[in-house]
Amino acid sequence: MVLGLVEDAESFKGLYAKEIPPVSQNEQMISSRWCSVKESGMRSDVPQERGANTAEEPISAVSILFNGNPLAIWIYDAVTLQLLDANESALKQYRYSREDFLQLKLDDLVLSGSGKGEGGGRGSKDCSDNEVQRHLRSDGTQMNVAVRSNELCHLGRPCKLVIAEDITERWHVNAELIQMAHHDGLTGLPNRTLLGDRMSQAMTTAQRLGHRTAVICVDLDDFKKVNDWYGHAVGDEHLKHVAGLLTSRLRGMDTVARLGGDEFAIVLGEISSLESAGLVGKMLLQTLNKPAVTTTPTLMVTRSRICTSRLTIWPCWRAR
């Protein structure tokens, strides 16, 4: 096929001479160097002349993972609890210089009794794996830290390597979400979900201790007229006032919840008889039927709100 297209050998040579450019001097040098590198068995993409860097030791992968890690990592002696080493992220998180940080012991960082994020006094505390603790910064502020640890041998001593992730912001966000899911947004009282849990706890306690528990439901009669006549802002202020009155008149073990609208529920724990629960209900009605004082300038004192209540007690088969 080639001979059919090209008449003679000279034309054939001329055709390829036009399409293949001449090799430059630099390309010849690169080509010769590539051949020498291949023959010597070395990598061609690594420069051969390093100068003074040839004597430098390569950085180990362990050093990169430790010092370049964005999470706070530190090592402490498992026997003396003395801090032995830390990366830059740990120094930044705890706000210490390296010299000051390595003079600390574990007791200086971890709050005792701080497992699962609960605060406490300072004392000897080990860093267990997969635990949330409260740690101290150099300025005395506290933070919630997710701890992961592993045992190792460092400088010939039994030690622990700790990865401490600051989750304070995430912890606060979760707490706010839990608060929103279980409490009324206006009054701050428990909502229906939390009320059901409190009722179950009260019934379990009453059955175990041989006591009774009671539930009182309270309605604010004609509350819609307050919203219609004075506006929803005044109505909201009145609901918060009622919530404060109910909470202030009951014990810490009792629960006041808002069911919605103008309906409230009270769980009374550890009561002795139906009569005692009835006395509590009457006291609450007397308190709520007094004139309600609000902070809204539009309405300083409203007329008496007539409240109704319903009472049930559990277990009902026990002797009074």
User: pLDDT per residue over 113-153, tens digit each?
Assistant: 555 544 444 444 567 667 889 999 999 999 999 999 999 98
Q: What Rg, from alpha-carbon coordinates, does the chain have?
A: 39
Domain ranges in the chain are: 62-170, 183-314
Cross-strand partners of 72? 164
Distance CA 309, CA 303 (A): 19
pLDDT of residue 194: 92
> In the block, which residue shows the tokens 């995430």?
170
pLDDT of residue 56: 52
Q: Token pair for residue 153?
A: 């041998």
pLDDT of residue 97: 95
Long-range contacts of 120-123 (CB under 8 A, 24+ apart): none
Distance CA 312, CA 32 (A): 99
pLDDT of residue 301: 36
Can you name the CATH fold of 62-170?
Beta-Lactamase (3.30.450)
User: Is 152 within 8 Å of 159 (Cβ atoms)?
Assistant: yes
Closest CA to 227 of 310, 308, 298, 288: 298
User: Is 164 within 8 Å of 74 (Cβ atoms)?
Assistant: yes
How far is CA 61 from its chain centroid? 31
pLDDT of residue 160: 93
Residue 19: CA count within 13 A, CB half-sphere: 6
* Model confidence pTM above 0.75: no
Q: How confident is the model at residue 59 (pLDDT cuts 50, 70, 90)?
A: low
Please tell me the class of the 183-314 domain.
Answer: alpha beta
Residue 297 has pLDDT above 80, yes or no: no
For residue range 145-196, what is the model confidence (pLDDT) as tens digits?
Answer: 999 999 998 878 899 999 999 999 998 998 888 888 899 989 999 999 999 9
Higher pLDDT, 46 or 261: 261
Residue 291 has pLDDT above 80, yes or no: no
For residue range 62-95, what is the model confidence (pLDDT) as tens digits?
Answer: 788 888 899 999 999 999 999 999 999 999 999 9
212-220 sheet: strands from edge to edge? 255-260, 263-271, 212-220, 307-314
